[in-house]
A and B are shown apart, each in its own frame.
Chain A
Amino acid sequence: MSQDNPSFIPTVLQDAVNWAQKFSMFTYPFATACCAMEFMSTMGSRYDIARFGAELPRFSPRQADLLIVIGTITERQAPVLRRVYDQMADPKWVMAFGVCASTGGFYQNYTVMPGADQVIPVDVYVPGCPPRPEQVLDGLMTLQRRIQDHRGHNQVELGNTATISFTDRRHLPVLPDGTSMTLPPEERMPKDGRVR
């Protein structure tokens, strides 16, 4: 079965897989700052993110498929964030929560990284300082549309995942030496966590 020319059944199957994935998001909250309060509010009963199937945070990146970068990322934290992202299994998505995670916000200085997208690909940006829960839900719905359309950064890399067989190793994201197979070799992270 060719990747470039998938037949009718895998294509329809991919739509079904995407539909299942978009309503079953297991989030990993990478919470570093005050935006986490608004994240808690979004997770709580009043705004009830469970309506969108994303109510269960997993506190291990290996069990999560949506990385939510919540709050300010300093340059010193960047290798940690990169490692957390590399540890997540495919398929995976990333949401930048708040202006600090999106662009660095008002911290334009020597220590704050100007946006999480400097080290990891980001699918959806939720601005605000902090964003209202409605904005977060809007961002999540935007992400769900992108998942359904197969336009997440990881989905684009993987192609039609419905055609990936069990012998295809691309569904195994982390190699024994700790690097990620889903990244191009020059982007893979060595074990000491230092990439220039």
Chain B
Amino acid sequence: MAQRVLEILQERLPHAIVETGSYVGDEMALVDRAQLVEVLTFLRDDPRLDFAMLSDLTVVDWLGQDPRFEVVYQLYSLRHKHRVRIKVGVGAASEECWVPTATGLWHAAAWSEREAWDLYGIKFTGHPDLRRILMYEEFVGHPLRKDYPQNARQPLIRRPDAPSTDDQTTRLLDHSHDRRSE
């Protein structure tokens, strides 16, 4: 069923499709960023496809590859009960790291795109309210990028005499009130 989705897409918008693939029943199409909104609009509005639901929008960070990021749209048709996955490659350079927003097509995209901005730093051009959604405003950087330092902490508040966070086990033992020491 979903194989037909790719065929229709290939037939109607061949200039937008970079690559198609199928793996264990999941159909995927890698599309060009310039035609992304055109492809998504077609997928939503064509009565044979009718992808009325954006079930997820996420990002993959392929550190070291070019393009570095892949924005992934998981679409589902409530009427035809089929799915398709649309991917767009996005470069790492700050002027390249953008994707046109899908909020005009699905309202569900608004928070997903905020999450993608928050954690991966992908700018969604035309988004009505692109703020951080999970991390706090004071947070610097985008923590799910593969080059974000693993142990970096950005605390909002700390006690002046807070115990050291280096070795958790030692710290817990040092501060515990064991029955033997009572």
Contact = CB atoms under 8 A, between A and B. Distances in A.
Interface of A: 75-76, 78-79, 82, 99, 102-104, 108-111, 113-115, 117-125, 127, 138, 142, 145-146, 186-187, 189, 194-196
A113 B151 CA distance: 12
A-B pairs, 10 with minimum CB distance? A103-B168, A110-B143, A114-B165, A195-B157, A118-B162, A76-B136, A125-B176, A103-B172, A78-B157, A79-B157
Interface string B127-169: 0000000111000000100001011111111111011010011
B46 interface: no
Contact of A103 (B134, B160, B171, B179): B171
B175 interface: yes
A78 B159 contact: no
Interface centre among B143, B150, B155, B156 (most CB of A within 10 A): B156
Contact of B155 (A99, A118, A123): A118
5 contacts: A75-B155, A76-B156, A104-B165, A108-B168, A114-B165
Contacts, number: 83
Contacts of B153: 75, 110, 114
B11 interface: no
A99 B172 CA distance: 9
Contacts of B168: 103-104, 108, 114-115
A75 B159 contact: no
Please report whether the interface of chain B is mostly helix, strand, loop or mixed according to DSSP: loop
B160 A187 contact: yes
A127 to B, nearest CB: 7
Given A110-B153, A111-B135, A142 B171 contact: no
B171 A118 contact: no
Given A75-B153, A103-B171, A122-B175, 8 more contacts: A79-B157, A108-B168, A117-B162, A118-B155, A118-B158, A118-B163, A123-B177, A194-B156
Interface string B77-97: 000000000000000000000
Contacts of B134: 111
Contacts of A78: 155-157
Contact of A117 (B151, B154, B175, B182): B175
Contacts of A114: 153, 165, 168
Contacts of A76: 135-136, 156
B14 to A, nearest CB: 43
Given A110-B152, A110-B153, A111-B135, A125 B175 contact: yes
Contacts of A145: 182
Nearest to B176: A125
A1 B151 CA distance: 52
A30 to B, nearest CB: 16
Contacts of A79: 156-157
Given A102-B172, A103-B172, A125-B172, A142 B136 contact: no
A186 B151 CA distance: 28
Contacts of A123: 177
Contacts of A111: 134-135, 143
